[in-house]
Amino acid sequence: MIVSYHVTHVSAGGVAGLNEVISALERNADGRISSCGKVEEYLIVRTCNRFEAYTATDDGDSVKAMFEGLSQEFMPGDDGKSSFVLDDYSSIKHLFRVICGLESLIVGEDQIQHQIRDAYIKARADGHIGKRLSFLFDHALAVGKRVRSETSLNKGAVSVGSAAVELAESRLGSLEGRTVAIFGAGDMATVIAKNLIGKGPETVFVSNRTFQNAALLAEQLDGTAVTWDRMDETLERSDLVLVATSAPHPVVHVDNAVRAMEFRKDRPLLMIDVSVPRNIEPEVGNVPNVSVETMDSLQNIAMENVARRTAEIKDAEHIIREELAKIEKERSESEANEIIRELSLKFSAIKERELSMAKTRVRTSDPESVLEDLSRSLVNNLTSELYINMRKASRAGDWESCAAVRRLFGLEDD
């Protein structure tokens, strides 16, 4: 069966403080899962807004207990409010919704599909994936692709990066002619950069602790890379600052904002922090003429996004229902299909062996006699084990096996 464990921005009631929990789980969960003797396959998906683990097991109760232990250790006193465990159909349905972007902060966003695909590739390379999870995640990726090709769910502001740019425009108006700074050069910063293209900012600064990474991103924007130690100067010159680093602590402090604002002559500064945990000190928002928006500020845009996409969401959910029915049918038939495959291989080997002997005999013997012997030998070889095991079952009083043979070979009375 499939058992999955989830901590997300939805289950935790927001993104504030979520990254500390996710970081702790990321450091410890892999070891716990891999050392659990009941887990046969597993895959971990970690983003800034979610931590999810999918496992294949024959002992669901033990794996659920292991996951509950993780919650008790890393979310003490939470009483299961910020995490949840699913199994089989519910796990698969949740995965399909996640990969389609229906469970994302920004409904329909594409980034989650890439993140799940990368997690799948990594788990497979690490040897953590087997037949069952490969089957599941291959199907899930196909579902995500189908939803994005057959619906308009991923059109418009459908990522945290695009929502951040939309939020900036709602506060500042057009970004044309503005000076924009991006702190960070990772995945989220890159998404923001892509959404700035075409918005017409006059100047774009990109700053990162690793200057080379800042230079690479700045090149994509025809912008300017600046060193991290020039933060105050960068803040002073900017109208909009977008902070998207992977630092586990604030990187923009009150002192930075105060020094920058000394030279701005009351010119307002908008700062948007899309990092989890927050990379801008909360007190920065108290500095005169500085406005700070955070990931929680994007919730309103997220809600508006859902309202605009009601029809697309319904279409996506219809596709998910179709694909759930399909995968459940395939899963229910999988054991039978494996037996059929093994029987086919066994019967083919018998056929080839008997046919080879018959071809040798037919050169010197009567063809009719050879065919008669071939047919008799095939029947004997195909049924001998069946007859032996049926007699054993009968002697042992195993009437269920005998009845099953009747059903399988159509011998039941009308």
- Of 378, 333, 338, which Cα lies nearest the Cα of 355? 378
Q: What residues are paired with 185 via a beta bridge? A: none
Provide the residue type at 192 as one letter: I
State yes or no: is 36 an active-site residue: no
Helix (H, G, I), strand (E, B) or coil at 409: coil
Give the CA dihedral 299, 247, 122, 54, nearest 10 degrees: -50
Strands (E), 223-378: 224-226, 240-243, 269-273, 290-293
Within 8 A by CB and 6+ apart from 262, the residues are none
C-beta separation of 27 from 53 below 8 A: no
Q: What residues are paired with 291 via a beta bridge? A: 270
- Among 36, 48, 100, 402, the one annotated catalytic: 48
Q: What residues are paired with 85 via a beta bridge? A: 5
Name the pairing type of β-strands 50-57 and 39-47.
Answer: antiparallel
Name the pairing type of β-strands 203-207 and 50-57.
Answer: unpaired
Token pair for 85: 């465990």
Token pair for 37: 């003797």
C-beta separation of 358 from 378 below 8 A: no
Helix (H, G, I), strand (E, B) or coil at 223: coil
Residue 316 CB neighbour total at 10 angstroms: 28
C-beta separation of 193 from 218 below 8 A: no
Q: What residues are paired with 292 via a beta bridge? A: 271
Token pair for 412: 């039941």
Give the CA dihedral 186, 188, 192, 194, nearest 10 degrees: 70
- Helices 367-395 and 399-408: angle between axes, nearest 10 degrees: 150
In angstroms, the CA 76 to CA 73 distance is 6
* Chain position carrying tokens 């008997």: 354
Instruction: Give the active site residues.
Output: 48
